Amino acid sequence: MSPKSPAPADGVRLPIYFDNNATTPCDPKVVEAMLPWLFQNFGNPASRTHSFGWAANEAVELAREQVATLIGASPKEIVFTSGATESDNLAIKGVARHYARKGKHIITVATEHKAILDSCHALERDGWEVTYLGVNAEGLISLDELKAAFRDETVLVSVMYANNEIGVVQPIKAIGAMCKERGVLFHCDAVQALAYEKIDVRELNIDLLSISAHKMYGPKGIGALFVRRGRPRVRVQSMIDGGGHERGMRSGTLATHQIVGLGKAAELARLSIESGEVNKIRALRDRLWVGLQENLDELILNGSWEHRLANNLNVSFAYVEGEAMMMGIKQIACSSGSACTSASLEPSYVLRAMGVEVELAHTSIRFGFGRFNTEAEVDEALALIVEKVRFLREMSPLYEMVKEGIDLKSIQWEAH
């Protein structure tokens, strides 16, 4: 069954999908490109002795070129993986293990994706030292702090292009330049940004870059790692050994249909960026934010507005618990900053790293807009959200007190 019910003649199809930072639907053009590689052309790209293999290999090499073109790389610098989690692992652990003799220090950021942070934790258990840079209230790192964090033993800096929760874009060009000056490798997890921002690995001095298809209108379960060749060439130690595929960096039979899908998604992303489609997506995001501000008070934008992906909005609706909100607006697919799915009830570590208080972090909602969203969906969602927030706040004694002019911080809560 499709998660969407049929569109009513005059209305918006529900539920509305505003969670494009979590995953995106496959573009129909991607699906179309993938299909022939499942049955008709099912060959193993590594089969060198017949036309089934040759055709599959040709398709894989075309996709490699499409991915390389998107980021200004050469096809030989693209290693296919099972997704960005693997790409991040390969970048961090692969570089660490290959360059261990040079030094055992890595610099990254507290707000990185778990695939980065947990890879770093794994290395720490093996004796590496990791510096986790903090971020300011806007979610941005300080270049001075980065400068101070470099040591003689530093082999790698890993900073994401744009954050998956708050969409904040880090000063990648400046970071790349600092790393180059010091001869330190620079890895960038660019998963969230690739469909929306022009990224050129040469211009930005990026040595390794992680890619995931399903955040850019491609299929799940496929990604890539850019590993710069040039001088000196970047080396990573493989994590998955076997037939020596992908120049020994990642063994395993290449998933032709998935790779074709990633390639097509990369080509569409490039065309989309060139055509300015991102402006349409930004307009949807802005329309919701303006509408919310016109209708509700006590809203807090999480993360820099200026240094931000066009498709991301992350808002705290003060005095409205995120989970209650999510239950109330089930017709809108978005996500909450209070990770109640985990046993811990810990609010988002990204918001906490920015200094957002626990209570406010629990009220945060992330809206992620994408290629297939419409203005009508924004208007429908806006009406639903405004109604629900007003309703929930009417039941909130705290909100009422604030509206009566009471400073909550001045209250001496009774201790139990």
CA angle 245, 23, 141 (to 5 degrees): 90
Residue 200: φ, ψ to 5°? -120, 115
Tell me which residues are annotated as active site: 340
The 8-class DSSP code of residue 19 comes to B
Contact residues toward ligand PLP (CB under 6 A) are: 83-85, 88, 113, 115, 160, 164, 189, 191-192, 212, 214-215, 223
Distance separating alpha carbons of residues 23 and 9, to the nearest angstrom: 28
Q: How far apart are CA 90 and CA 86, in angstroms?
A: 6
C-beta of 191: minimal distance to ligand PLP in Å? 4
Nearer to ligand PLP, 260 or 385 (CB): 260
What is the number of residues in the chain?
A: 416
CA angle 57, 94, 176 (to 5 degrees): 95
Q: Looking at 44-107, list the stretches that DSSP marks H as alpha helix, in order from N- to C-terminal side.
A: 51-71, 84-98
Nearer to ligand PLP, 154 or 335 (CB): 335
Q: Which residue is nearest to ligand PLP (CB)?
A: 83
Q: How many C-beta atoms surround the C-beta of residue 205 within 10 A?
A: 20
Which residue number, 160 or 292, has a Cβ lying nearer to ligand PLP?
160
Question: Nearest approach, Cβ of 27 to ligand PLP (angstroms)?
Answer: 17
Between 186 and 319, name the residue whose CB sits nearer to ligand PLP. 186
Rounded CA separation 219/217 (Å)? 7
- DSSP string covering 165-230: TT-BBP-HHHHHHHHHHHT-EEEEE-TTTTTTS---TTTTT-SEEEEEGGGTTS-TT-EEEEE--S
Task: Please give the structure tokens belonging to residue 162.
Answer: 């744009």
Q: What are 109's two structure tokens?
A: 């950021």
SS3 call for 356: coil
